[in-house]
Structure formats: structure tokens, C-alpha cells
Amino acid sequence: MRPFFALLVLVFFSLSIRAEDFPPELVKFKQHGDKPVFTAAGQGTWEVKIRERGWIHLDPTADGTDAAKPKYRMWYTGYDGTREGIKRLGYATSADGIAWNRHKDNPLLDQLWVEDVMVVPSVEQAARLLPAPKQASRLLYDWHMFAEGRDDQAQLLTSRDGTKWQRFGQLEVVQTNGQPIEPGPYGTPTAWLEDGVWHLFYERHDAGVWLATSRNLKVWTNVSDEPVLRPGQGLHDRDLIAMNQIVKHKGRYYTYFHGSAKGETPSLWSTCVAVSDNLRSWKKYDGNPLLPRELNRSSGILIRDGDRFQLYTMHPEVWLHVAQPF
């Protein structure tokens, strides 16, 4: 009986660790409704399809009744459906996160390539760090956008209102020795600001995720020239991986990322999660992917509305998943 009892204790302890690492409100979701909450406008428009990571921001101070102060904002990428087609920035708002209204001036930047976007609301510290463009008289911006440009080159844009954006240029990333990283794509930029330090997670060919830091948003220095997150947990991220978002919950960092395997037709991408205590060492959730692979829902973004957690998958259309009650 003693060995059996010891085994039960060990199993229980292991399960407790997993539960502590990944609270159910972050990993257990139920699909809302029977159709996506947002899709491309379709043929005859500038957005025949939408692509990869979009971004949703919830304003907890808004009640959804004032159109000038929307409760939910969404930035997304539309294109003509061809591989070569320019990827343009779209914008929509919502009172409830379900019914969305496109902005009348879409696309917001007609000739600038913008995809795989994330948006960071300004904080006083961030505003002080951000260099102003030559024609600007103030340093204060309300929104920072990290996105891919043409050829998967990470770039920074800023805005006062979330609709009129100005490009500051391509992000300069260097190795730990100060030398530029090797030429080539470095995309899906994911930013996190803490204690005056910006952290930039980026992927190269979707073969891994690297981390660089900066105090001035000008030069980003790798914390290591090796990836901090690699593919290979299972078929869902066997070969390809990219990070979408960092959230902090109960004192720990969580990243929602997506992964895939090469050689599949069609290519299937899955939404996954990992946890860290230092932003550098990550442990993937044993239950990845969070949604069945065959659904092909990726670029997951987690939103917290009070005590309710919502997971939006942004590619190839926007689906809403709500955390199950516990």
C-alpha cells in the first residue's frame, strides 16, 4: 500500500503543479456562437482576406455607449488575397466585442505595408522614451504599434487616436556583441514594457522566438543569440512557431503563441500558451493546443473583461472563445 500511496501523492503533486502553472481561466475556453465575430469584407473590397495577427484592445473605463470612446478596438490586416498583395491596416470598434463596425477611412494607411500588428497603449514612461518625429512638437503619443512591414521587417508606428498612424521606421536589432543580426526576416514583433525596459520578442522564419531589450525604442539588444522559445512540443508546433502576446496573471508571465508543422496541405496553425517567471525561460502547457488543430485558428489574443477572460483567434477570421466557468 505504501508504494501505491506514494505514487498517488506524486501524481497529485504533479497535477497540482500543472494547475498552478496554468490556471483554467487561461486555458479552458468555449466557442461563442456558431460563426466568427468578424470576417473579411470579401471580393470587390480592399480586404478580400484578413491575415495573421490582429490586435484587440479593451477599455475597461468605457461602457460602450460613446462612439468616440469605444469599449473594444480592433486593428487588423486586410489584403487582396494574393501572396504579393500589399497588406494594409484596418480598424474596427465594438461595444460588446461581438458586433464590430469598420472605420469609414479604412484602410488607414493605404500604401504602407502593415501586418502582424500589436498595439500598446501609451504610459507616461513610454511617452518619455519615445523619440519624436522631426515634424512633431510633442513626445506624447497614445498608441504604439509594433508590426511587420514588407519582407517581414519589424517596424514601429505611433498614433494619437488609434486611427492616424505615423511610421517611425524599422526596428534596429543587434546581437549580444552589438553587431546587427543577420539580414533576413524578423517578424511578429511582440512588445512588453516593465520597469522602464522594453522587451521585444520576434521570430525568424518562424523557426524560433528571440528576445531583445531596449530603453530607448531605437536599438534593441538580444538577451541571448539563441531563441527563448522553440518549436517541437508536438505536431501542433513541430516546425514553426511565433509569439503573439504577453500577459501577466497572478505574478507570472504567459505568452499566447501559434505553431504549425511543415509539409501539410492545407497548412494548419494552432493557438498555444506557455508560462515564465522571467520572460526568458518558458514552459509550454501540456494541454496545447488550446483549440483543436483541425479548426486552424491562430494568432490568439487574450482579453480580460472584469472577471471574464476571452480568447480571440485572429486568423484567418476572428473567432471569440470565452473562458469556461470554474
pLDDT at 11: 40
Domain locations in the chain as residue ranges: 31-323
Name which of 228, 212, 151 is nearest 187 in CA terms: 151
What contacts 27, CB < 8 A, 6 or more positions away?
A: 273, 285, 287, 290
Q: Residue 124 and residue 122: Cα distance in Å, rounded?
A: 7
pLDDT band at 122 (very low <50, low <70, confident <90, very high): confident
| pLDDT > 70: percent of the chain | 88
* Mean pLDDT within 125-142: 44
* pLDDT of 185 over the 60 cut: yes
Give me the amino acid identity at 175. Q
pLDDT band at 326 (very low <50, low <70, confident <90, very high): low
Q: What would the pLDDT profile of 288-301 be if each residue is shown by its tens digit?
A: 999 999 999 999 99
* Mean pLDDT within 27-37: 97
pTM: 0.89
Domain spanning 31-323: CATH superfamily: Glycosyl hydrolase domain; family 43 (2.115.10.20)
More confident residue, 1 or 216: 216
pLDDT band at 16 (very low <50, low <70, confident <90, very high): very low
